[in-house]
Amino acid sequence: MGFATDAIHAGQQPDPTTGAIITPIYQTSTYVQAEIGKHKGYEYARTQNPTRAALEANIAALERGVCGIAFASGLAAINATLTLLKSGNHVVASSNLYGGTFRLFVRILATFGLEFSFVDTSNINLVEAAIQSSTRMIFIETPTNPTMTISDLAAISRIAQAHRLRFVVDNTFMSPYFQRPIELGADIVIHSTTKFLNGHSDSIGGMVVVKDPEEGERLAFIQNAAGAILSPFDAWLILRGTKTLAVRMRQHDANGRAIARFLGGQRQVQKIYYPGLADHPQHELAQRQMSGFGSMIAFELGSLEKANTLLKHVRLCSLAESLGGVETLISHPATMTHASVPREDRIRLGITDGLVRISVGIEDVEDIITDLEQALSRL
Ligand code: P1T
C-alpha cells in the first residue's frame, strides 16, 4: 500500500464488537480474566492497551519497521532507548540535538555511567574518529534542532554496521513522510509524536520503531517494566493525527519552501538554515535522503534585541515552544528549547541570541508572510 493509505489504515481494523471504524479509546486500567492464566491477550493496561497497540502498529508501518513502542513523551522514548545500554557504554551523539535530549544525556544518563561524545555527525570522519572500544550506539538527529544540519544516514549506517553499533535516528523533524531512516540502514527510529505525527498541538507522546523483533521485545519489556507509557486518549489523538500526515506534510513543505524564499529576500535576515535552499551546506544530501524539506526553518537576525522585537510583534505566528502543529509556531532557541545547552556550546553550534526558529504551519502562506513582513518591519 502507499504511504497515505497506510497512514489511514495500518494497524486499525473495525472494532470487533461494534464495527466502529475508528479504534475506540480503551480507557481501562485492567481486563477481566476467565480463570488463572486464561485471558484475551490483555492483562493490565500498563502492559497492553488496544488503542496504544493500534498506534504502535500504525507508526511502525509508516517507518517501515517491524514494531513500535509508544511512550509518554519523546524524551521518555529516548530515555527508554538509552536504557538498552549499560553503565560504561559509550554513545557517539550529534553535537546539535534538541536541548532536552542533550540535558537527559548529560545531566541524568551520564550520572549512571553512560558516556557521550558529541560530534558534528554531518562529518563522517568525525563520527568514525569518535568511536571507542566501549562505543555501543550512534544517536543522531537529522535535520538537527534547530540548525537543520543534515547527516548522511546511509554512510553512518555503514559505519555502525562495521563496528556493530546500534544506529538510532530521531526523525521528529521530517516524519516518515519525508524520511525513513530504517530504509537507509538505521536500527531504531525515535519520534516525539508531540510534533508532526500528531500534528495538532494537543498531545505529548513518543514512539520508538525498531527493525529487529528481538530489540522490539526488549523495548516492550522496558516500556512495561519502567512504565513511561502513552495514555489511551493520547494514542487515539495521535492515530487521528497520522491519518492526515501525508496531506499535512505536503502543505507544510510547500509553505516551508515559500517562507524560506521570503526570508531570503529580507534585508533584516542575515542567515537562513533550511535544507531546501541551494546554499544549504548539505542541500544535495538532503535531496538524496529526504523526499521533501519540511517546514522547520531557523534564521539569524543578529541580536537578542532584534529577535525579541520580531517575536513581540508577530500576531498570526505564535511565540511558543514545540513544532509540527497545523499552526505556525515561532521560538527563540537560546532561551527556550536550548536553554540547557551551555552558552559557549550554543554559540559554537550557531544557536546565537539572534537566532529565531519557525515551525511553519499550514495556514494560507500569504497570511504568514504578511505577519512576518509587518513584524520584520519593526527591526
Ligand atoms: O517534548 P517531547 O515529546 O518529550 O519530545 C522531545 C523531543 C525529542 N526530539 C526532538 C527532535 C524534539 O524537537 C523534541 C522536543 N522539542 C521541542 C519541544 C521543541 O520545541 O523543539
Neighbour-count burial of 2, counting CB atoms closer than 10 A to its CB (0-12 exposed, 13-18 middle, 19+ buried): exposed
* Sign of the dihedral defined by the CA atoms of residues 163, 164, 170, 175, in that order: positive
Name the stretches of the chain with pLDDT < 70: none
- Kindly list the structural domains of the chain, giving each domain's residue range(s) and its CATH number in brackets, ordered by start: 3-242 (3.40.640.10), 245-376 (3.90.1150.10)
CA-CA distance, 104 to 192, in Å (whole number)? 14
pLDDT of residue 319: 98
Pocket mutation for ligand 1, best pick of 82, 108, 150, 172 (most atoms within 8 Å of C-beta): 172
pLDDT of residue 258: 98
Cα 131-148-258 angle, rounded to 5 deg: 160
DSSP calls for 23-41: PP----SB---SBTTB-SS
**d(CA 74, ligand 1 centre) in Å:** 6
CA-CA distance, 296 to 175, in Å (whole number)? 12
Nearest-CA neighbor of 148 among 279, 5, 49, 307? 279
- Phi, psi at 16, each rounded to 5°: -60, -30
Check: CB of residue 235 under 8 Å from CB of residue 52: yes
141 SS3 class: strand
Cα 247-237-188 angle, rounded to 5 deg: 75
Give the binding-site residues of ligand 1, using a 6 Å CB cut-off.
73-75, 98, 100-101, 141, 145, 170, 172, 192, 194, 204, 206, 321-323, 337
Q: Is 164 known to be catalytic?
A: no
pLDDT of residue 33: 97
pLDDT tens-digit series, residues 49-91? 999 999 999 999 999 999 999 999 999 999 999 999 999 999 9
**d(CA 156, ligand 1 centre) in Å:** 23
Write down the pTM of the prediction. 0.98
Pocket mutation for ligand 1, best pick of 195, 329, 330, 336 (most atoms within 8 Å of C-beta): 195
Contacts of 316 by beta carbon, 8 Å cutoff, 6+ apart: 328, 363, 367, 368, 370, 371
**d(CA 328, ligand 1 centre) in Å:** 16
Question: Prior bond to 16 cis, omega within 30?
Answer: no
Check: CB of residue 136 under 8 Å from CB of residue 167: no
Half-sphere exposure of 110 (CA within 13 A, CB side): 14
**CA distances (Å), origin 375, targets 56, 111, 369, 378:** 41, 44, 10, 6
**d(CA 321, ligand 1 centre) in Å:** 9
Return the residue matching grid coordinates 505536503.
250
CA-CA distance, 187 to 308, in Å (whole number)? 41
- Residue 302: which region, alpha, beta or left (left: phi > 0; alpha: psi -120 to 50)? left
Q: Is 367 known to be catalytic?
A: no
